[in-house]
Amino acid sequence: MSVPTPVEEFARAKVNLSLEVLGRRGDGYHELQSLVVFPDIGDRVTARAADDFSLTLEGPFAGALKQEDDNLVLRAARLLARETGRPGANLVLHKNLPVASGIGGGSADAAATLRALARLWGVRIEAHMPASLAFTLGADVPVCLDSRPAFMWARGERVARLAGLPPFALLLVNPGVAVSTAAVFKALAAPALAEMPAVVERPAFATLDGLLEWLAAHGNDLEAPARSLAPEIGDVLAAIGATKGCRLARMSGSGATCFGIYATENDAQAGADAVAGAHPAWWTAASAVSGCIQL
């Protein structure tokens, strides 16, 4: 019997261009609204057929995960196996993204694992992994399953894909500081939600200027509390904002990774070179944003 060919999936970073916290819900979760995109920067998950599950960690940030007893990759794999009745797999996670950095690395890895195993086992994710079930792995897993520009709301499980965004590029910078999402939300101390918001209308942008105008009115509510816990975030934002061609500098998610928006990938890479030259200890990466289509 032939052995199935190993399957590899790219786990793109998830960047919150905006993240608004509308309030704390009665169930303890926060009601959110966020515009998210996925640059061509991320981890890689490889799956090979096996009778049981195993996980090998590789890459520059693998060490940060080696003390975890219940890695999200294994949790995702076991969940899909239980739903499909399939056997195990040998999994390899090549960890290129900083851990606990506000760019959805763990969720992206879980989503990539589900996609890889679906291909390896010949099953359809849609038939076995509805958003409500994927959400049990993490609030960002549903939006990471498709890894295309989207507007997400509620607790994060409601996702509307955007028909298109104007092409642009991102510079990502992390100062090497891990920030606890729970601590950031605690510092935010969001008030109780008085009433559920009205039906969300997904935004649309014909130009980069239009996107930037929208973002100017829709910020990241977690940035201020994150900066109070990790002042280095302010230094990162200043460094990005000082680069040539940067149209907007902002924090992603709950931090500490920050991003800069640029019109072209060349401009973003020049920004990365400038920041890395001035701050060689910081992690930097630049790329175009995946899934952007000029309308």
101, 256 contact by CB (below 8 A): yes
Phi and psi, residue 293, nearest 5°: -135, 125
CATH number for region 169-290: 3.30.70.890
pLDDT at 245 over 90: yes
Q: Does the annotation count 14 as an active-site position?
A: yes
Identify the active-site residue in 109, 140, 221, 267.
Answer: 140
Cα separation, 162 vs 168, in Å, equals 15
pLDDT at 295 over 50: no
> What's this model's pTM, rounded to 2 decimal places?
0.94
pLDDT tens digits along 33-48: 999 999 999 999 999 9
* Span of 51-65, 118-132, 227-241, 268-282 with lowest mean pLDDT: 118-132
For domain 7-161, give its CATH number from 1.10.1040.10, 3.50.50.60, 3.30.230.10, 3.20.20.80. 3.30.230.10
According to CATH, where is 3.30.230.10 located in the chain? 7-161
pLDDT tens digits along 48-77: 999 999 999 999 999 999 877 678 999 999
Report pLDDT for 1: 44
Mean pLDDT of 234-241: 98
Q: What are the structure tokens assigned to 212, written together?
A: 């930037």
pLDDT tens digits along 155-212: 888 889 887 789 999 999 999 998 999 999 999 989 898 777 766 778 889 899 999 9
Q: Does the annotation count 140 as an active-site position?
A: yes
Residues 91, 291, 96: CA angle, nearest 5 degrees: 35
Mean confidence (pLDDT) of the chain: 92
Of all residues in the chain, the percent with pLDDT exceeding 70 is 95
Residue 185 makes CB contacts below 8 A (sequence gap 6+) with 21, 30, 222, 225, 254
According to CATH, where is 3.30.70.890 located in the chain? 169-290
